[in-house]
Amino acid sequence: MSGEGAGRAPAALRFAHVSKHFAFGETDVLAVDRVTLDVAPGEFTAIIGRSGSGKSTLLNLAAGIDTPTGGQVWVEGHELSALSDDALTLLRRRTIGVVYQFFHLLPGLSVRENVALPLLLGRVREREALDKAEALLAEVGLAARANARPHTLSGGEMQRAAVARALVHQPQLLLADEPTGNLDTKAASQVIELLGALGARHGATVVMVTHSREAAQAARRVIEMRDGRVVADSAS
Ligand X SMILES: Nc1ncnc2c1ncn2[C@@H]1O[C@H](COP(=O)(O)OP(=O)(O)O)[C@@H](O)[C@H]1O
* Site residues for ligand X per CB under 6 A: 22, 27, 29, 31, 49, 51-57
The DSSP bridge pattern shows strands 13-24 and 27-39 to be antiparallel
Q: Using CA atoms in the order 146, 210, 35, 226, what is the torsion angle rounded to 10 degrees?
A: 160
**Closer by beta carbon to ligand X, 113 or else 178:** 178
42 touches, from ligand X, Mg ion, none (C-beta below 5 to 8 Å by class): none
With CB atoms as reference, the residue minimizing the distance to Mg ion is: 56
Name the residue type at position 136: L
Comparison of 67 and 89: residue with beta carbon closer to Mg ion: 67
The distance of closest approach from Cβ of residue 95 to Mg ion in the complex, given in angstroms and rounded to an integer, is 22
Q: How far is the CB of 22 from ligand X (least distance, A)?
A: 3
β pairing state of 70-75 and 13-24: antiparallel
DSSP string, 100-132: -TT----TTS-HHHHHHHHHHHTT--HHHHHHH
Burial class (CB in 10 A: 0-12, 13-18, 19+), 127: exposed
Q: Could you tell me the smallest distance in angstroms from the CB atom of residue 40 to ligand X? A: 23
Nearest distance from C-beta of residue 52 to ligand X, angstroms: 4
Residue 119 C-beta: closest distance to Mg ion, Å:
28
Q: How far apart are CA 148 and CA 159, in angstroms?
A: 14
Residues forming contacts to Mg ion in the complex (CB under 5 A) are 56
Output 53 or 172, the one with its CB closest to ligand X: 53
Q: Which is nearer to ligand X, 56 or 190 (CB)?
A: 56
The entry of Mg ion, ligand X, none that residue 205 binds, CB within 5 to 8 Å by partner kind: none
Cβ closest to ligand X, residue 15 vs residue 114: 15
52 binding partner (options Mg ion, ligand X, none; Cβ < 5 to 8 Å by kind): ligand X
**What's the DSSP call for residue 234?**
T
Please give the Cα distance from 134 to 143 (Å, whole number): 7
